[in-house]
Amino acid sequence: MLSVPTSPVLPESERSEQALLPLKISAPPPRTGVLLRSDLQALLSEVRLNPVTLVTAPAGYGKTTLLSQWVQDLTRTGAPVCWLTLDSNERNPDLFLAYIIGAIQQVFPHIGGAAWRILHSAAHLERDWPLIAGALCSDLQRHLATAAFLFLDDIHMVNDSAVITQILGYFLRTAPPTLHIVIASRHIPTFAPLARLRAEGRLVEVSQRELLLSQDEIQHILATQDVTLDAEELDLLFRRTAGWVLSVQLAARVLASQPSEQRDAFVRALTGSQRQILQYLATEVMTDLPPNLLDFLCLAAFPRYFNAEILNSVLERDDVPYLLQRAQALGLPILPQDEHGDRLHFHPLWRELLLQQQPIDQQSRCALHHRFGKAFEHIGDLEAALEHYEQADDTNTLIAVLREHAWTLLRSPKRDVVRRWLERLPVAIREADPNLIHVWGMSQTSSNPDHARLAIIRAVELYRADGQFEQALRALSDLAVFHVLQLRLPEFTNVCMQSIQVAHLVRDDWSCGAARVCVAAILFSKGRNLATLRVARQAETFPLSPTWSWLLSIIVATINCRLGRPREAITTLDAALNLPLVDLDDRLLQNLMRLRALALYELGQVTEALVVAKESHDQLRNYYHNDSAGISAGQFAWLLLLDGRIDEGMIYLTQTRTALHKLGDATMLVQFQAIEVYGTFRRGQIRDACVAAESVLRRLREAEGLAPDLGTWLLLVIILGEGGEHERALASAQEIALLMEQQGYQLWLACTYLYSAYLASLCAKADLHTRLLRLGWELVATHDIHYLPTLPPIAILHVAAEALRKGLVPDAVGAVLREQIPSQALELLRGMLSEKSAFVRAHAARLLGDIGNATAYTALRPLLKDRQAVVRFAAEDAMERLVYRPSYTLHIRTLGAFTVRRGEQEIRDRDWRSSKARQLFQMLITERGRTIPRDRILDALWPNLEVEAAANNLRVTLNRLGKAVEPERPEGAPTFYIVSQADTYSFNLDSDYHFDVLDFDQAVIEGQRAEYNGHHQVAVAAYRRAAEIYRGPYLPDSLYEDWAVVERERLAMQFNDIAIRLGELLFEEGTIHEAIGLAWRVIENDQLYEEAYRLLVRAHTYLGERSTALRLYTRCVEVLRSELGIEPMPETTALYETLRNL
């Protein structure tokens, strides 16, 4: 079993660690004594420079040997290398994707967690594989910053699968530029985009021809066997073997065992096809082998791989280590599969020949396969064991192994393998065995839910009939999860009732815990939220299986979200996210995340909540191509409506309505109708919404089934209140508040109290207003609530102002104002600075400081002279905490000229008031992202002044700089664009600014990425944009300042490179004159840039301007000789020779 190295980033449960053979994702060690071919090793530089390398040749040409040598060289230089050896089993997309993820996680454990979870949950991989591949490539794009290599050996084993070739093509197109992919195959693959890469010259190809040995290399191999041939014999051997590596190696082995006088005859006897040569050579080698060694090798060829321990246990002989060592010493094609050489395998063709030589009858063959099955089962390679049991025609043992080990494989990428093995069994056997039918059902929960449900129900019946009550309880837990995921809530309740009955028959701690989870679920279905939570706490004191634990988490988190206890909900969800079961099934994860989005929204983290809700719904919609994602659509719609995104929300509500109609759940449908009515209200159809709100509210009161979500009832009350129905809304709100009190609501009860207080004020009910105001704000303070969802801003401003006037929990009031409506809160608090009460003024001042908006400076400054000390102290403290943020964006241009604009207004020379202020700003943006010590600034700007005088100049210059870029900054407020900390200074990268250098760098990157991915038109557009942005050298008014040199040279070199590349692309398109202009811009920038001259020569030659082209070449030669004392590069000279011969 594979155990991927531990990562500090990715939890171990999110890495592929089950049922993946580690040898397949480990590069084979380089073989000792192998001829190192300098020509092929030199190709590694091309491999490093190109996105894809393709090595194609039949078996025995040394492909894997070459790749292992490349891996060794790459590893020596510190380059990360991922490896995957493929076989026919990977024709299945689940296994192929699992091994791809596993190979990458061997080297990058933090990459692939999301892809791994999705892989376990996708229903139809032939259709859904882009979800996994996309998640993996996104991970690679984000995290793979430096060059890495992925080697895929034996790709021909899966090349006949249309799905696999689509996946491979996707990886080649979308892998990041830093990932170089090396493919080895016996046949030339034809899937896209190999042809395009070949046409673009971005595909390195090593064919059968390049892998053939030369005569010198054959002679070297013969020398290692102490074989010497004369020139004629060597030439004949070369022609007979055609330089085929394996045939040469076998021939060398045979020649080494023959007398010198017989070698010529042997070489002349080598004729026929390559396979015939191999058979002939293998026959010669086998004939020369001792019988006991040959018999041993024939038996060792039964498994795909072996080692001394496996062979010892199967063959029951003491000489296995000796025979293995002797076979290896004889140079036979036995290859290591890991770096330690602990596991071995035969060369595929050699194994094929050995299997043909086996002189044993069918009965003995079956017995041997049975023993090998036992051996592989013992070491944990269950798939190999099952293959051998099948070869042995041993159905009973195969069934026993499936019963014992299928659950392990079921939670691995080989889930479909389990299903296929079970489907091979006779139906009568499978249907009569509860364990097998249970596993079979679980293997189909994604791909065929209806079959899965019936199979698990059948398993429960068989378990109970056999008295296997613990297993029945386990099957019921799987069925319960299945019903929850499929939104079959009545069936879920029925399963909980059955589970309680079965648990009473088991009566151990595990069953007691399961029974309490089921009791909690039944109470939840009846709307008894507090009772549910009490029982849930009891259940948590018992050991729970991961399945029951997940179900309990869903129930508890749902109740806490409903009651407005978001922190408790997130605590429950975080614990559930650590369940191993969640790591293996993305459907379970996304249902937890769906609830997390609701909890985040209740905490006021609106943006994150919307992102999580959308991602969760999108994933669930991908898994359920029916109506089971209706709930997630409705919840996402609710969040969108509350955030003011009305049209989007109504679209998702339409999906929910359709789904709930098909599911036939009237109770849930009427709850979501309340959200629809709220959408109508937010669209401005207030009168219609009020009428509908009364109707829906009445139906909610009358609805039966699940407990009502009183938070949605509050929406209807708000619609009535904002529609002018104040008295009716107040009455309904008080009714809802009473229900919420009885059921333990917190956040939503606070919202209801406060909105009721607002309505009471509108209805002139002063005593009721005061009482409700106190109840609401006390709840807010007690439960540390910072966000009041659904409440209109006008209501929040009213109840906040009244609370401050009455001295009710000002800190809690301030937290809500700061988190929920900071801009409107500023106006409210500024107005309250003129209140008669000193304590109200002091509270308002302090809360303005908490909000931290520097625009309050003007209003707070007069309070520094207030007659009341408490007000003065509050104002002084608040002003120290205010943060100034300009209302404009700073536009900075440095390429070709230096200009700075505040929004649309340019900072003129006189605005800087001194050249030093200008230079200081230039230094800070040049060192952006880094702090500059004060001493360095003093040395750069005032190198000849004493420290004290220079420091005084710096203070003056900083003041002038601040006034130039932030003229509206309130007096005393810290600067926004310039950060000063402990005698260091820096430019604030978190500020609002636009910088042409960043635009240039970004355009260059976009162009390079597009070109790498074959998107030439996108690349041309990006390079053009970069060339337009680069309008000259960096900070041309500071050409002689040392602090600007490095950045200026970097940008100039970057421009030269992309300009020439853009020119070459334009030349290929036939846009010749633009290419010429770019080349001249480069020469004007750097007259020694030889590539620019080459582009000019090619362009003018294309235009038929031969004399101009020759003149340009002459100029290039003269400049290089005079300035550098060197000759042009060979390609330039070759271009000239071609031109001269025209």
Q: Note the pLDDT tens digit of each residue in 1078-1114.
A: 887 888 788 889 999 899 889 878 877 777 788 778 8
Nearest residue to 237 via CA among 224, 225, 257, 222: 222
State pLDDT tens for residues 966-1013: 888 876 677 888 888 888 999 999 889 999 999 999 999 999 999 988
Amino acid at 742: Q
The whole-number pLDDT of residue 16 equals 39
The predicted structure's pLDDT at residue 910: 84
The answer, yes or no, to whether residue 101 has pLDDT greater than 70, is yes
Q: Given this model, what pLDDT does residue 104 score?
A: 94
- In eight-state DSSP terms, residue 944 is T
* All residues at 6 or more sequence positions from 562 whose CB lies less than 8 Å from its CB, including other chains: 529, 707, 709, 710, 711
Distance CA 1128, CA 1126 (A): 7
In which band, very low, low, confident or very high, does the pLDDT at 644 lie, cut at 50, 70 and 90?
confident
List, in order, residues 6 or more apart from 1014 with CB less than 8 Å away. Answer: 173, 193, 196, 197, 200, 202
Q: Report whether 516 contacts 533 (CB < 8 A).
A: no
Please report, for the chain, the start and end positions of each structural domain, with discontinuous segments joined by +: 12-211, 217-396, 744-881, 890-991, 999-1140
**What tokens does 939 get?**
């040395």
Say which CATH superfamily domain 999-1140 falls into.
Tetratricopeptide repeat domain (1.25.40.10)
Percent with pLDDT over 90 in the chain: 40
- pLDDT value for 1062: 94
Please state, in angstroms and as integers, the Cα–Cα distance from residue 537 to each residue in 534, 540, 957, 978, 1025, following that order. 5, 5, 65, 53, 62
State whether residue 148 is helix, strand or coil.
Answer: strand
pLDDT at 13 over 50: no
Q: Are 924 and 932 in contact (CB under 8 A)?
A: yes
DSSP state, 144?
-
Report whether pLDDT(961) > 60: yes
Q: What is the pLDDT of residues 690-744, one digit of tens each?
A: 998 888 888 888 776 556 788 889 999 999 999 999 999 999 999 999 999 998 9
Q: Does domain 12-211 have CATH number 3.40.50.300?
A: yes
pLDDT tens-digit readout, 155-190 = 988 888 889 999 999 999 999 887 989 999 988 888
d(CA 1091, CA 321): 62
Give the chain's mean pLDDT. Answer: 85
pTM recorded for the entire structure: 0.64
User: Residue 242 above 80 pLDDT?
Assistant: no
Instruction: Tell me the average pLDDT across 917-933.
Output: 92
pLDDT for the residue 8: 34
So what's the pLDDT on residue 402? Answer: 84
Write the pLDDT tens digit of every residue in 291-320. Answer: 888 889 989 999 988 988 999 999 988 889
pLDDT in tens, 1000-1052: 999 999 999 999 888 989 999 999 999 999 988 899 888 888 899 999 999 99
User: Looking at the predicted structure, is the pLDDT value of residue 601 above 50?
Assistant: yes
Q: pLDDT at position 217, please?
A: 80
Helices (H), 526-585: 529-539, 546-563, 566-577, 580-584
What pLDDT does 19 receive?
58
pLDDT score, position 459: 93
- Find out whether 543 and 513 touch, Cβ atoms under 8 Å: yes
* pLDDT over 70 percentage in the chain: 92
- 147 pLDDT higher than 70: no
Is 426 or 988 the better-scoring residue by pLDDT?
988
CATH number of 890-991: 1.10.10.10
Q: What pLDDT score was predicted for residue 128? A: 83
pLDDT for 813: 94
The reported pLDDT for the residue numbered 4 is 31
Predicted pLDDT of residue 274: 55
**Residues 709-724 pLDDT 10s:** 888 899 999 999 999 9
Q: Which contiguous run of DSSP H or E holds residue 336?
A: strand 334-336
Q: Which of 114-123, 510-519, 959-968 has the least mean pLDDT?
A: 114-123
Least confident of 224-238, 629-643, 775-789, 922-936: 224-238
**pLDDT of amino acid 14:** 40
pLDDT at 677 over 60: yes
Which residue has tokens 């003018």? 1100
Residue 288 pLDDT: 72
Q: Which of 125, 21, 107 is nearest to 115 (CA)?
A: 125
**With the C-alpha atoms ordered 725, 731, 732, 736, is the resulting torsion angle positive or negative?**
positive
Given a cut of 90, whether residue 1074 has pLDDT beyond it is: no
Q: Whole-angstrom Cα distance, residue 457 to residue 469?
A: 14
Buried b (16+ CB within 10 A) or exposed e, 1114-1136: eebbebbeeeeeeebeeebeebb
How many whole angstroms separate alpha carbon 130 and alpha carbon 167? 8
Q: 160 is written with which tokens?
A: 């006949």
Q: How confident is the model at residue 18 (pLDDT cuts 50, 70, 90)?
A: very low
